[in-house]
Each structure stands twice: as structure tokens, then as C-alpha cells.
């Protein structure tokens, strides 16, 4: 069964996560342009992209596979948020806001996966 990713709240929220990630990493030091900044942006983009790609596949097992990849990217981004906080690139408030959103999106994806089984 195909799903229209445009109608999924997890895709909408992960798309906003991309925007927020791009905006916050603009404030990172220039020497991080090809390091943490680039990696965080790729991870954030990967979440919404994998949700969309999975929805474009023909079966629920394929969709679940891509949702698992999206969860992996969320975990990677969460780690990078902690590193950014450790390096004082992010304030505690911003880091906590990102972690909260990542946790909520991850929970939503897990719930969607359960509904597909």
C-alpha cells in the first residue's frame, strides 16, 4: 500500500527539522563548514528524504526499511546535537529543543511503523 508522504505529519515535522538545522548551523564557526555543519545537514535531509522514498515504494516492508533508515539518521543527528552543545556551538536551550523534537519525531515514526505491520 502506497502512502502519500505529503500528508504525513512525520514528513512535515522532519522537513521543519531540516530548516531548523540549516538555520542553526549557519551560526557555527566557518571551520565546521565541511565538518559538523555538513554532516548535521545531511542527516536532517536524510530523515525527510527516506520517509518520502519509503512512501514511494510498493510495499509496507520496503517503507518500514526506509523508516528504519530515517530513525538511524535521527540518532546520528541527535549525537551531533550533543557534540555541538559540548563544543559550545549550541546553547543548552537550543540543544534541548532539538533533542525534544528529534525524540518526538522518532516516536511518531515508531508508531507509524507499528501501524504498518
Q: What is the pLDDT of residues 29-53, one digit of tens each?
A: 999 999 999 999 999 999 999 999 9
CA distances (Å), origin 17, targets 1, 69, 74 = 27, 16, 10
| CA terminus-to-terminus distance, the chain | 12
What's the distance, CA 33 to chain centroid? 19
Percent of the chain with pLDDT over 70: 99
Specify the CATH architecture of the domain 5-116.
Up-down Bundle (1.20)
pTM listed for this prediction: 0.94
- Comparison of pLDDT for 117 and 76, the residue scoring more: 76
Amino acid at each position: 500500500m502506497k502512502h502519500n508522504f505529503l500528508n504525513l505529519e512525520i514528513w512535515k515535522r522532519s522537513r521543519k527539522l531540516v530548516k531548523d538545522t540549516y538555520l542553526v548551523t549557519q551560526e557555527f564557526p566557518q571551520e565546521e563548514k565541511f565538518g559538523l555543519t555538513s554532516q548535521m545537514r545531511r542527516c536532517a535531509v536524510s530523515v525527510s528524504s527516506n520517509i518520502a522514498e519509503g512512501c514511494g515504494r510498493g510495499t509496507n516492508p520496503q517503507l518500514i526499511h526506509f523508516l528504519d533508515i530515517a530513525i538511524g539518521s535521527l540518532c546520528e543527528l541527535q549525537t551531533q546535537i550533543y557534540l555541538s552543545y559540548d563544543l559550545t556551538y549550541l546553547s543548552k536551550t537550543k540543544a534541548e529543543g532539538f533533542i525534544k523534537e528529534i525524540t518526538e519525531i522518532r516516536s511518531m515514526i515508531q508508531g507509524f511503523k507499528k501501524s504498518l505491520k
